[in-house]
Amino acid sequence: MTIRDRLWMTFRHLQVSLIGSILVILAIAIGVALAAATTAFIIQYNQQSEELLNHPIYREVYVEALGDPRTETELQLPVVEMEGNLKDAKLLSVTDLPLVLQSVPGLTHAYIAEGIKFRSTSYLMESGLGEAAVKGIAAMRETRAAAAAKSGVDPENPKATGEVMGGTKGGALGGAPGGAMGGETGAFVLDLKDVTEIPVDEFFGIFATPDFFTAYTLNAASGSLFTEEDLKAGNQVMILGSNLAETLFPDGNAIGSRISVNWQTFTILGILEPSDIVAPQNGYALNDFAFAPHFLFAGAAFGKNIRGQGLPTLRFAVEDSDDIQQAVIQLEEFLKQEYPNVNLRVTAAVDKLETERQKLSRILIVLIFLTAAGLFIAAINMFNLLLIRVIKQTKGIGVLRALGFTRDNVLQHFLFESFIMSLAGAVIGLAASPFLFRFLQSALVSGIEQGSSTFFLDLLLGAAIAFVFSIVFGLYPAYVARQTETSTALRAE
């Protein structure tokens, strides 16, 4: 008998109990979709989390102050030593970064990386946020002038370019004083001369120190990265991620251009090579970020920083992910010795990943159980339908035998029916599984990418498991049909 004849017979038989057949196919489809998506998700998650272990983000160790830094002085950490009511607080300084590197041999990088949202200055002005900002900046300028008077540094001209470093973290404006300000102290005028108008209202940024680039293996594709000198001088320079550079400067003239964001102007110094690193805080690719020198160091250059609050996190990194736990212990010991009264917490970023993995693995176990249960129910349904069909077709089996069909032909016929139903279910389930994968992705964890080279293989693996499972449950009814005695079958009513 040809495959075509077999298909013809099978489809006719399936039509006889159409609704039952459709329900079984749908049940198998759900089981296959679940199995395929879950398998792909688990494999991809494991692969990617293994890869993540060697990812720069997870080679990071960070030191945080516990509690609310705005109310507890000891938690003003780490920040440049400050005047006034914080004078007696025991604080980590940014100068501790190299000191820590020297004292903790396991660590290879030390840096600050602080997220910020850059908003175009013209957007801020149009949004009616300009007035408040100008007032704030004027007030800041007065404070800074007073600090400069004590340290002997001219706040308006701390460096050769004539630009002023400063800034506050986040906030409604996300902005900072400084930029190209003209005129006398207290009379703030924003000079937007030679500034390129950018085509977006806002973008993500990171205030960092140069070692951040080394730790994250970020290199300049064109132009250059900022240096220790830029940092200390408070130069208003900016490095753009590859995507952001294309967005802001579609014509490609980024290097050397000046842009105005958060009431400051920045000169574009370089563009990074494309990177696959995703910022763990918000899931955006670093290619979409801008990077500027961290202002705390410029403040240090003035002697005292104009900011009134601390920076919550110092970051360190190791070269080899295997050294992390050792580095954490060494860092804890160092900090305990240096700052015995400060409530600090040292965390390896990888621990967070591990905690997430453990949490997720519990969810995945439940998911696997549900998948198995779904598949089992689908298979039982098919088993039931086929068995009932065999019983209902007992006489038909007898007639087939009378017409010359062998026992094996009968077995193959019923097995083919379960095969076709499983195949139809598998195809539908497989088609639906990428959607289910995306659902799992959004519901459980971000950052698990679909579409890597193994994705469809993983889906196929899941589908194959479900498919074989369904076929196995079709075997027994087919066997019952095969064993039916012809003369008994012909006498059946």
Partner 1 sequence: MIELKGITKIYDLGHMQITALKGIDLEISRGEFITIMGPSGSGKSTLLHILGILDEADEGSYLLEKNDLTTLSDKELSRIRNQNFGFIFQSFNLFNEFNALENVMFPLIQAGIPRAERRERAMSLLTTVGLDNRVGHYPNMLSGGEQQRVAIARSLAMDPTFILADEPTGNLPSEQGAEILAMLDDLNKKGVTVIMVTHDDKLGERGTRAVRMIDGEIVKDFRRD
Closer to partner 1 by Cβ: residue 18 or 172: 18
Is 51 in contact with 353 (CB distance < 8 Å)?
no
Closer to partner 1 by Cβ: residue 315 or 413: 413
Phi, psi of 8 (to 5 degrees): -60, -50
Least distance to partner 1 from the beta carbon of 386, Å?
16
Closer to partner 1 by Cβ: residue 420 or 459: 420
Closer to partner 1 by Cβ: residue 63 or 489: 489
Cβ-proximal residues to 76 (8 Å cutoff; 6+ apart), any chain: 65, 69, 82, 86, 89, 91, 309, 310
Phi, psi of 310 (to 5 degrees): -90, 170
Measure the N-to-C terminal CA separation of the chain; round to a whole number of Å: 28
Q: Which residue has the tokens 């449950």?
A: 473
Closer to partner 1 by Cβ: residue 141 or 401: 401
Residue 341 to residues 65, 75, 337, Cα–Cα distance (Å): 12, 10, 9
The residues that touch partner 1, with contacts defined as CB under 8 A, are 1, 4-5, 12-13, 15-16, 395-396, 398-409, 485-487, 490-491
Closer to partner 1 by Cβ: residue 11 or 376: 11
Cβ-proximal residues to 369 (8 Å cutoff; 6+ apart), any chain: none
How many angstroms separate the CA atoms of 479 and 493, rounded? 21
Is 403 in contact with 379 (CB distance < 8 Å)?
no
Residue 262 to residues 173, 219, 462, Cα–Cα distance (Å): 7, 26, 50
Least distance to partner 1 from the beta carbon of 476, Å?
20
Least distance to partner 1 from the beta carbon of 397, Å?
11
Least distance to partner 1 from the beta carbon of 406, Å?
4
Least distance to partner 1 from the beta carbon of 409, Å?
7
Least distance to partner 1 from the beta carbon of 408, Å?
7
Q: Which residue has the tokens 């057949």?
A: 21
What are the structure tokens assigned to 74, written together? 């000891």
Closer to partner 1 by Cβ: residue 362 or 491: 491
Residue 57 to residues 25, 51, 53, Cα–Cα distance (Å): 45, 11, 8
Residue 420 to residues 142, 144, 460, 482, 486, Cα–Cα distance (Å): 81, 79, 17, 18, 26
Least distance to partner 1 from the beta carbon of 487, Å?
4
Closer to partner 1 by Cβ: residue 264 or 393: 393
Least distance to partner 1 from the beta carbon of 392, Å?
11
How many angstroms separate the CA atoms of 423 and 470, rounded? 9
Closer to partner 1 by Cβ: residue 399 or 431: 399
Closer to partner 1 by Cβ: residue 2 or 337: 2
Least distance to partner 1 from the beta carbon of 382, Å?
20
Least distance to partner 1 from the beta carbon of 492, Å?
11
Name the DSSP letter for residue 473. Answer: H
At residue 476, the 3 state secondary structure works out as helix
Q: How many residues does the chain have?
A: 493
| Strand-strand pairing, 258-261 and 344-348 | unpaired
